[in-house]
A = this chain, B = another copy of it.
Amino acid sequence: MTTLKIEEIEGGGALAEQGAEGDSCECRVVHVDTVRKVRASMPAEPAMDAMAELFKSFGDGTRLNILFALTQERMCVCDIAALVNMSRSAVSHQLRVLRGARLVKYEKKGKSVYYSLDDDHVKKIFEIGLAHVKHTR
Q: How far is it, in angstroms, between the C-alpha of A30 and the C-alpha of B77 when the chains are bound? A: 9
B50 engages A137 (CB within 8 Å): yes
Of B50, B81, B131, B132, the residue contacting A133 (CB under 8 A) is B50
Among A84-137, those with CB < 8 Å from B are: 84-88, 90, 102, 119-121, 124-126, 128-137
B27 engages A78 (CB within 8 Å): yes
- Minimum CB–CB distance for A117 against chain B, Å: 12
Give chain B residues whose Cβ lies under 8 Å from the Cβ of A9: 82
Given A26-B87, A85-B18, A86-B24, residue A55 in contact with residue B51 (CB < 8 A): no
Give chain B residues whose Cβ lies under 8 Å from the Cβ of A37: 72-73
A46-59 to B contact mask, C-beta < 8 Å, 1/0: 01111110111111
Of B19, B38, B124, the residue contacting A128 (CB under 8 A) is B124
B85 engages A35 (CB within 8 Å): no
Give chain B residues whose Cβ lies under 8 Å from the Cβ of A58: 51-52, 55, 58-59
Task: Count residues of chain A with CB under 8 A from any CB of chain B.
Answer: 72
Give chain B residues whose Cβ lies under 8 Å from the Cβ of A121: 128, 131-132, 135
Q: List 13 A-B contacts (CB under 8 A).
A: A6-B82, A25-B87, A31-B76, A35-B82, A38-B69, A47-B133, A48-B68, A51-B130, A51-B132, A55-B58, A56-B59, A102-B136, A119-B136
